Structure formats: structure tokens, C-alpha cells
Amino acid sequence: MKLVDNDEIIKSLENNLTPELSGIESEKILKFVIFKIDNKTYALPGEIVQEIVLDMPIYYLPFVPKYIRGLVNRHGNPYAVVDIKVLFEKEELDGNRFIIIRDLNEKICLIISEITKIVNIKESQVSRITSENEISDFFLDSIDLDDQEVPVLNIYQILKKISNDIS
Amino acid sequence: MILANDFLYIYYKEQNIVINRSQFSGSISLIGEKKLANKYSYFVSSVTYNEKNIIVFDLDNYFSDNYRTESVNDTKLAIISRIDILEKSAIDKLYRDCFTYNSNLATDYIAFSLTSNSEIKNSPVMKFRLLSQTLNSHLRSKGLLATSFIESRIEYFIDLNHLLSYNLLNEVIV
């Protein structure tokens, strides 16, 4: 049997990526997933949440920043686990729930404490975050929910940070 | 479309390392290793292969340090690769830093020592999955190409060229 080299194998794996939903479509009524990391509440746009799973083992991944805790296995696919608590507070989260992010090429998930609820919010209830500090860079918007301002996490800013930190 | 290929599976306590069979030409039992003095942490010995004295890269210790593997037995073997699996700049460095100071070393082969708890088997290529796009090229440059999962274990699909070239060119000292 003819052996193939690794470049050909990687080309095959890349060609096998199947198209999925991509991009974020804006809606007049916006869905958000509200979740907690310890006692802090955050939100994610509903359309980028693929699924929520719990109790998955985290496998070690070398050569990555500390806020990437490792990999989880979701239907045979490796998802990099991002720990927001490490990013903001330099401490690991003792959590067992994961939000799998919907993206064709970026297989990442967030480790969280719990899901609070899923809400539909009018676009007018979403406001831009204007304060400028290192942490607010990771939030694009905030939503007005039960008289509380809940920051909406910007996943793509997190991906940008990862890219900067490993380059 | 590539359907299947031969791979070397190296079985550690909680994970497997997988290497493409095309990356090495043979294997030997690791008997009669001779210590080698040089500045690279993982090039610590040499071994005789086909009457030649071949430099040995301690892949077992490398995986232990970087992938947190734990061997399940003490017996070792070495897989033998032609030196041209490496990038030219890495070969030049090896010549400069190792072969120049150890003139009895053959310069056409490299051995990789690893646990003998291993086997070659034919596997479907599509069992491997690429990592997140943001991480992919970074990890690939260090030798990690893809992963797969089997039961409760993770399998790391490793490229020896990138692994070794990265080590040589970045002078990783543990």
C-alpha cells in the first residue's frame, strides 16, 4: 500500500469541512443566552450558541495560553475550552458546563458555572459598551435585563486575543 | 481522496500518540545507547543502526514534558528516519551544533526513542479532526497536526518534521 505524507492527509481533512451556518444575522428581536461564571452574569447572542453540554472531560492541550484549559470531545470534534475566569481573574473556574460556539472553522467552547436563561430582547434594549479598560474590550454590547446591565461577550475579540498571544 | 494510511500508535497511560508510517523507515530495540554531550535537552544519546552511530532524539521524554504522557512500561525502541525529513535550516543547525562536535555520528539518519508499547496499524484518515483555525497553524508548527478520540482517550497526531525542526530552531532547553 502506498504511504501518503502528512501534507496530503491535512489537505484531505481541510477539504472535508462541511458548510454550516456562518455569520451572525441581525434580527429585530434578538435572542440571548444568559449564563454565569461564578456569581458574574454574562450574555451571548443566541445564534452563536450551538449547544450547551455538561460534564465533559477536558483533555490536555500543549503550547496554548493558560486561559485555554484544554480540549473537549464533541461528536469526535476537538473544541478548545476557553476559561473566561482565567482571562479576567487569573483563576480557573470550577465549572462543569460548556457552551459550544457555532462557527465553521473555530471549534471553541466556554466553560461556565450555569445557564440562567434564554431570553428574547428587543434590539432597542441592547446598548453599546462605551467604557474602556482591558476587560471591556471583550464585550461589544450590554443588555438591559431585569434592571441589570448584562455584558454581551464578544467571542471574536477572544479569538483575536488568542491569535495575538500565540503569535 | 485518501481513505486510509498506516500509522504508528504509541500507547501511553491516558493518551495515544500517532505518527504517520511514512515518516520513518525502520525500527530497532534500543540496546547499547551511548551518552552524548550537547546543548539540546532531548538529543542525549546515540545508538548503532546498520553499523552506523545514529543520534537519538528522546521522543518519550519530549512527550512526557510537553504532552504529559506517562509510560506504561520501561522497554524502549527507536524508530529511524532519514535526516531529510527535517527542514533544511534544522538540518544545518544539527550539523553545526551536534555533528561538528561528534564526528563519529552518521549524518544521514536520526533515531527517535519511544516506549515499546506501540504498534503499526492501518486507520481511516478521516478519524482525525483539525483543531480550531486560530490554533491550527501555531500547533502545527510545533508538530501537533490533529486529534482524534477513542473511548475516553485522546489521540494526538504528530508530525516529526515540525516537532523536531521547532525544537532545533528554537533551542528548547528544559
Per-domain residue ranges of chain B: 4-167
Contacts of B147 in chain A (CB under 8 A): 59, 71, 78
Please give the ipTM for the structure prediction. Answer: 0.92
Q: Global pTM?
A: 0.89
| H helix intervals, chain B | 59-67, 88-94, 133-141, 160-170
Confirm if A44 and A99 have CB atoms less than 8 A apart: yes
Task: Grade residue A17 by pLDDT with cuts at 50, 70 and 90.
Answer: low
- Using the Cβ of B149 and the Cβ atoms of chain A, whether some distance falls under 8 Å is answered with yes
Sheet of B52-58: strands edge to edge? B26-29, B76-82, B109-115, B52-58, B43-49, B34-35
- Angle at A103 (CA atoms; ends A159, A47), nearest 5 degrees: 105
* B23 touching chain A per CB within 8 A: yes
**pLDDT tier for residue A1 given thresholds of 50, 70 and 90:** low
pLDDT of residue A131: 62
- Number of Cα atoms under 13 Å in the Cβ half of residue B20: 25
pLDDT tens digits, one per residue of B59-100: 999 999 999 999 988 888 999 999 998 889 889 988 888 888
Using CA coordinates, name the residue in chain A closest to B126: A13
How confident is the model at residue B40, as a pLDDT? 82
What is the domain class of A35-166 according to CATH? mainly beta
B172 at interface of A, judged by CB pairs closer than 8 A = no
Residue extents of the structural domains in chain A: 35-166
* B89-128 residue pLDDT tens: 889 988 888 888 888 899 999 999 998 899 999 999 999 9
Interface probe for A, chosen from B149, B159, B160, B165 (most Cβ of A below 10 Å), is B149
State mean pLDDT over A73-84: 96
